[in-house]
Amino acid sequence: MNRQLKQMMEQAQKMQQGIARLQEDLAGARLEGSAGPVRATVTGSGELVGISIGREAFEAGDPEMLEDMVLAAVRAAVDRSRDFSSEKMRELGLPDTGGLL
All structural domains of the chain: 3-91 (3.30.1310.10)
CA distance 4 to 6: 5
Task: Report H helices in 29-62.
Answer: 55-59
Residue 5 scores a pLDDT above 90: no
CA distance 56 to 98: 36
41-82 pLDDT, tens digit each: 999 989 999 999 999 988 878 899 999 999 999 999 999 999
Amino acid sitting at position 101: L
pTM for the structure as a whole: 0.77
